[in-house]
Amino acid sequence: MDRKKLIGLRIKTMRRSRKMTQADLANAINQSQSSITMYETGRREPDFETLEALADIFNVPLSSIVADEASDNLYSPIMETMSSQARIISGGVDRMPPEKRDQALKILQAAFVEYSDFFKEENK
C-alpha cells in the first residue's frame, strides 16, 4: 500500500473509532471536508502542520499516523491490541455500505452492551 493510502486509512480508522464524521474532523483542524475525504482516500497527503493537528486531535504520537507500512501493525495503534477475530469483524464492517454498516454496528452494540464499558459510558 502506498504511503498516502496508508496514512489515509489510519486517519479514517482513528476518526471512526472516535465516532467523528469527516465534517467533525474538518472543523476540529480547520480544514474542509473535501480535504479530509482526499486524505482518507489517499488522493492527497496532509502537510506537516495538518498531521500535527490530527495527532493532537486523536491524542496519538505523530508516528502512529505516518510510520511506514513495514512498522505498521494493521493500520493504527488503535487496532494493535485487537484479536484476529475483532480485526476480521472490523475490516468487514468498514467495507459495508453505510446502511448495512449502521445495522451491523447496532447488532454488535446490542450483543456487547452488557460486557463493554465503552457502550455503558455511551448510553449514559
For residue 110, the model assigns a pLDDT of 78
Work out the average pLDDT over 42-51. 93
Percent of the chain topping pLDDT 70: 70
Angle at 59 between CA 17 and CA 93, to 5 degrees: 10
For residue 78, the model assigns a pLDDT of 47
Distance, in Å, from the CA atom of 44 to the CA atom of 27, rounded to the nearest integer, reads 18
| Higher per-residue pLDDT: 59 or 33 | 33
In the numeric block, which cell numbers belong to residue 95? 467495507
For residue 61, the model assigns a pLDDT of 85
| Statement: the pTM of the whole predicted model exceeds 0.85 | no
Q: What is the DSSP string of 17-59?
A: HTT--HHHHHHHTT--HHHHHHHHHTSS---HHHHHHHHHHHT
In the numeric block, which cell numbers belong to residue 25? 474532523
Distance, in Å, from the CA atom of 82 to the CA atom of 62, rounded to the nearest integer, reads 21
Domain ranges of the chain: 3-79, 84-122
pLDDT per residue as tens digits for the range 51-73: 999 999 998 888 888 876 544 44
Whose CA is closest to 122, among 19, 25, 27?
A: 19
Distance, in Å, from the CA atom of 48 to the CA atom of 78, rounded to the nearest integer, reads 22
For residue 116, the model assigns a pLDDT of 63
Phi-psi region of 120 (alpha: psi -120 to 50; beta: other; left: phi over 0): alpha
For residue 87, the model assigns a pLDDT of 63
Mean pLDDT of the chain: 79
Which CATH topology does 3-79 take?
434 Repressor (Amino-terminal Domain) (1.10.260)
pLDDT per residue as tens digits for the range 5-29: 889 999 999 999 889 999 999 999 9
pLDDT for residue 82 is more than 60: no
